[in-house]
Amino acid sequence: MKLTPLNITLACILVWFISEMNADTEMLFSWGWLVALIAVLLLVDVFFRIVIRDLQRIWVLQIGFILVVGIVMVILKIQ
């Protein structure tokens, strides 16, 4: 399996979620939302791999996807 930005993002989210389980504070989202997020990230990653064969182009498009999703999330959070 090739390393892609979405795989790195998924690993970071899983590590962050596991580290938050032991904290005394309330978790940001539930197990159900975590499973949904994992499924969406995996499906988008597979979609990019099927549509685009060039690994360098996959990296550029997936980084762009992550940035666009992050910007949209910040905009939605502000409103």
Q: What is the pLDDT of residues 3-60, one digit of tens each?
A: 889 999 999 888 888 888 777 777 777 788 889 989 998 999 999 889 998 889 999 9
Tell me the CA end-to-end span of the chain in Å, nearest whole number.
39
Q: How high is the pLDDT of residue 3? A: 87
Paired tokens of 26:
């309330």
Q: How high is the pLDDT of residue 1? A: 65
Residue at token pair 């992050």:
70
The more confident residue out of 1 and 73 is 73
Q: What is the reported pTM?
A: 0.76
Q: How high is the pLDDT of residue 30? A: 77
Closest CA to 4 of 59, 70, 60: 59
Q: How high is the pLDDT of residue 59? A: 92
